[in-house]
């Protein structure tokens, strides 16, 4: 083989090997899902009124559309998005709090080694974010909430995930 052709063959072989490694299904890693719960109430009520139910449905659909988010029951979630929907007429409003429950491993890293103290702390909800949203209607408020959650707490979680 002539030297220029041998060099081209070598480059193509290396390129094919590199491409095969990047598209190989065994080498591909799926991003872990972020499990969160969604709780929506209407202001001054223990449940949701019609506007609160629409806000819940709109936020739920928005969060479900995010590829690495899985909505789970509160009992299975480390993070819970709590929303209190305003009940007054006119512009829509909602208050959102994102809480997190610490696990035993995190508490060990923080230096909490006593089991009784750790058990009490794991039962608590730690507030990570609180924001108030207003808009012309509930769907606009829902879009703002989803954008804030995705660009806020979820973006921070994605940034600190361990790299393989």
> What pTM does this model have?
0.72
pLDDT per position as a tens digit, 64-78: 999 899 999 988 888
Instruction: Give the architecture (CATH level 2) of 31-159.
Output: 2-Layer Sandwich (3.30)
Length, in residues, of the chain: 164
pLDDT per position as a tens digit, 100-126: 888 888 888 888 888 888 888 888 888
- Between CA 146 and CA 66 the distance in angstroms is 9
- The residue extents of the domains of the chain are 1-29, 31-159
- Between CA 92 and CA 55 the distance in angstroms is 10
């Amino acid at each position: 083989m002539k030297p220029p052709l041998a060099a081209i063959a070598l480059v193509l072989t290396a390129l094919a090997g590199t491409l095969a490694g990047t598209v190989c299904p065994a080498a591909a890693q799926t991003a872990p899902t972020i499990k969160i719960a969604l709780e929506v109430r209407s202001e001054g009520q223990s449940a949701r009124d019609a506007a609160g139910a629409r806000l819940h449905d709109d936020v739920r659909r928005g969060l479900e559309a995010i590829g690495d988010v899985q909505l789970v029951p509160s009992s299975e979630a480390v993070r819970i998005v709590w929303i209190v929907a305003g009940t007054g007429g006119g512009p829509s409003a909602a208050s959102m709090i994102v809480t997190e429950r610490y696990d035993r491993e995190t508490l060990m890293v923080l230096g909490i080694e006593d089991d009784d103290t750790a058990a009490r702390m794991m039962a608590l909800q730690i507030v990570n974010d609180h924001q108030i949203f207003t808009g012309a209607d509930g769907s606009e408020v829902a879009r703002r909430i989803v954008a804030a959650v995705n660009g806020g707490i979820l973006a921070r979680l994605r940034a600190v995930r361990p790299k393989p």
